[in-house]
Structures are given as C-alpha cells and as structure tokens.
Structure 1
Amino acid sequence: MLRAMFAALSKVIAQFSDPAFRSVLLRALAASAALFVVVWIGAWLALSWTGAVLSDWIAAQDVDGYMVTVLQWLFGALSVAGVLVASFLLFPAATVLILSFLLEDIAAAVERRYYPGLPAARDQPVMEALRAALAFAGVTILLNLLALPLYLLLLFVPPINLFVFYGLNGYLLGREYFELVALRRLEEPVARRLRRRYRGRVLMAGVIVAFLLTLPLINLVAPIMATGLMVHVFEQVRRRGGVPEAAGT
C-alpha cells in the first residue's frame, strides 16, 4: 500500500513538467502564498489585540513597573509562538478553500495524462465545492482547537504529539480530498461507501497530505500535490472495487 502511495506521488511530481499542470501550479502558488499571509496576519492581529487588552489590564493593577515590563515581554514572545502555532494548525484547513477553485483543472490534467480513456467528469459547480470546503475548514479548525490542549500537553512527548497531529489531520484531509475528487464521477452515497471500504488507503494518503502541508515552501504547492495524489488513489480503489466510471448516474 505504501509503495502504491509513493508511486502515485511520484507521478504527480513528474507531471510538474506538463504545461497544463504548470499553469495550475502558478495559480496555486499565488493563492497559497496569499492565503498563508492572510492566515498569518489574522492570527497576528488577534493575538496583538489580546496582548493590548492584557497589557492595559496589567498596567492598571498594583504591580511593580519592572514586572509589568517582564510580563509584557513574555506575552510578546508567546504571541510570536502563538502566531506560528496558529498558522501551523490553520493552514491545512485553509488550503482546501484553494482546492475548491482549482479542483477541476488539476484533476482534469492528471486524468488526461494518466487516464485518457475516462469519460467526462460531472460538471461540479464551484459553489458546491466551496460550500463543502468551508464546512470542512470549519470542522478542521474546531477539532484542532479542541485538540490544542492535547497538542500542548504532548509538546515534549515526541513522537506521540506527531501521531496525534498527523493522525487527526490525516483523517480529515484524506476524507475531504477523496470525497471532493470522487464526487466528480460518483454519486455521494457511492463515493462514501468507496471511501469507507478503503479507509486505510484514504487515511494514509491524508497523512501524506498533512505532512506535505507542514513542510516550508512545499506547503505552497501541497494543494496541487494532494489533489493529484488523491485522483490516483481514487482511480486505484475505484478499479479495485469494481465501480464504473459514472456509478450512480
């Protein structure tokens, strides 16, 4: 199974030389970079506002001036760490928003090169994919925030902390990317049954995606790599499961 995953990933990397793929790649790079900046600025503004409120409260207390300075410095340092942690946690969920706009172009490029015999995919409205992406982003952010105390508790307990982070996000990303790709060709009940039947493969693909999204610079092209990977995974399990190209239509 692992060999099949890396074979699929190598196909995606090899396709970076495809002109059609490069066009989508440039758009994804620009969108990912812009999204990362937005996430970073949003987290920074939220923590800066919290820091200003806390600083005013500390200054209003009967505390020695030196201690006020020390506490403000500590909060500033924690704010920087908080921005990095927030970006780390939010970016995987936010990238699915990029996917909702680029899904069809990426998937079609992969299919043209590796699966030329497939019939045309279902014309999925952008708003349908965007609604699904927004719902996924909300659930992912909420679950990561709920798991944040556990992340912090396990911060100094490697590799358990990594298993928790990549396990949770791998499950969520695998599920969402697989269904977004599968719904181009299958009805929703059929797509979900296929995902559940091959949940191990989908989870492994999701963990690979989660890992790519946490690598500096690589995370900027991760939405494209993740989509291409999941197209290959979907075609593998669809054929293995004996599901026709347009089941349920």
Structure 2
Amino acid sequence: MGRILTAYFKAFEQLSDPKTRAVIWASIGWSVAIFVGLFIALVVLLKATTFIAIGPLEMLFDFVTLLGAPVLTWLLFPAVVTAIGALMLDKVVDAVEQRHYPHLAMAPGASLAESIGPAIKFLGVTVGLNLLIVPLFVVVPLWPFIPFIYLALNGYLLSREYFELVALRRLSVADANLMRLRWRTPLFFAGAGFAFMLTVPILNLIAPILATAATVHLFEAWRAKDNLSDKPSPSRGSGDVVVPPVNTPPTQT
C-alpha cells in the first residue's frame, strides 16, 4: 500500500507541471461534456421507450426514470470517460516520464490495433457489467453492499485499462499481460482508488489524469523489479540495433 500511496501523491504533484495543465483543461472539458451528454442520452432513451402501455403507470415510470437517470449516469461515467480519455492521456504519460524518469528512451508506442481495440472492448464490457448492478437497487437489503460491489468491479476494470494504456507503450501485449497478472493484487487496490475518485464531484473531472500518472509510477516500479526492457521500436529497420533503456528504480522526489 505504501507504493500505491506514493504513486497517488506523485500524481497530485504532477498537476502543477506546465505540460500537464493543457491536458487538465481538456480533461475537465471532456468530462463535463461526457457527463451531461450521457445524462441527456439516458433521459431521452428511457423516455422514448415504452415499457408500460397503461397511461398513468407509464407516467409514473417516466418519473422514476428521471430519478434513475442520474444513478445510471453515475454508474456509466467512469467507463465512458476512461475509454474516451485514453485517446489523449498519452501526453500525461510523456509528462510524467520526462519529469520523473528522464533516463527512459522514447517509448516505442502502441499500434492502432493495440490501443483502439482494447479501448472499444473495455467500453463494452464495463458498460455491460455496470448495467448488471442496476437491478440490485430494487433489492433493499443489498443497498449497503452496492458501493463495495461497484468499487470492486470498476477497480478491476479501471486498473486493467489504465495499466494497458501505460504498459503497451513500452511492452509487448504478452509481456504486459504477464506483468499485469504478477501485480494484479496491488493493481486492483490502485484501481479501486481510481474508481472512487471518479465518483467524487469535482475530483472526477481530473481523475483520469491522476489515475494515469499514478499508473506510470506503479508500472515503472514494478517493471524495474521484473527487469523488463522496452519492446523493439516498429519505426526501426530490421538491421538497426535497438538499445533498451537501463531499468533503474524510479527517482524519488
């Protein structure tokens, strides 16, 4: 837990970095737009769908949907904002690496298939699984457990998504998967923290940046322990020699 808390602390420090500020404003703008758009889309979808043909009951259902739309928005917001935010968070990774890991060579990067494919899959799986939580709200005895179920589910999903966002820039898919499995327990607890931040008003606007920065620190610490070097850069010719960066423990600031 000490390493996770240190990663969180450094992530908050990263907010003062000039290179991160532009991404902060973009993240806030996208987060607000996604939250409002998701809420409006859910209200329109629920009101346009006729579940009960009887007039008075349909009016009652419409009223209930207006109350339930914020709940659905709250449930789906982490998945949507993370999937879309993944397209611009590379800049955060670069800023963290330049500030804390200047010894690293330029990341080979992830291919389009490695980045877009998992993001689409993540969005579909996360939205689907979070929708499965919705029926629990009608079971009153389960209400005290819903926050824990939500954090556990999204802790796993978000930790995996942010880890892949960072790891696939420098590791092959096979190495990234093996590394994620080796460190799955602390990664899960870090992800639960990400999920919690995405439910806190105001904080959730910059939570993707904090989660990305924290994951970079965790990834580099674990990669040094596993002695994993960068994958070959696809931009190099077959005759070029790729010199991997020296894996040294993360700098302490």
User: Do the two structures share a fold, i.e. TM-score over 0.5?
Assistant: yes
Q: 1:104 aligns with which of 68, 84, 90?
A: 90
Equivalent residue number for residue 10 of structure 2:
11
With the length of structure 2 as denominator, give the TM-score of the two structures: 0.85
Q: 1:58 aligns with which of 54, 57, 81?
A: 54
* 1:221 partner amino acid: I
With the length of structure 1 as denominator, give the TM-score of the two structures: 0.86
* Cα distance in 2 between the residues matched to 1:155 and 1:99: 36
Equivalent residue number for residue 183 of structure 1:
168
Equivalent residue number for residue 162 of structure 1:
147
TM-fit CA distance, 1:72: 5.0
Question: Which has the higher mean CA deviation after the structures are superposed, 118-127 or 75-84?
Answer: 118-127
* Cα distance in 1 between the residues matched to 2:71 and 2:180: 31
Equivalent residue number for residue 44 of structure 1:
43
The superposition leaves residues 131-184 of structure 1 with CA deviations (integer Å, 9 ceiling, x where unpaired) of 3212100011111223332454366542x2222111111111111110121000
TM-fit CA distance, 1:75: 2.2
* Cα distance in 1 between the residues matched to 2:207 and 2:27: 9
Contact map agreement 1:190 1:247 (CA 8 A) in 2:
no
Contact map agreement 2:78 2:195 (CA 8 A) in 1:
yes
TM-fit CA distance, 1:97: 2.5
Contact map agreement 2:83 2:120 (CA 8 A) in 1:
yes
Q: What RMSD in Å do the two structures reach over aligned CA positions?
A: 2.0
Equivalent residue number for residue 129 of structure 1:
115
Q: 1:196 aligns with which of 154, 171, 181?
A: 181
Describe the shift of the 1:155–1:177 C-alpha distance in structure 2 as closer, same or farther (beyond 3 A): farther
TM-fit CA distance, 1:10: 1.2
Describe the shift of the 1:100–1:121 C-alpha distance in structure 2 as closer, same or farther (beyond 3 A): same
Q: What secondary structure sits across from 1:101 in the alignment? A: coil
Equivalent residue number for residue 75 of structure 1:
61
Equivalent residue number for residue 21 of structure 2:
22
Contact map agreement 1:154 1:161 (CA 8 A) in 2:
no
Unaligned residue ranges in structure 2 (runs of 5+):
234-253
Contact map agreement 2:137 2:143 (CA 8 A) in 1:
no
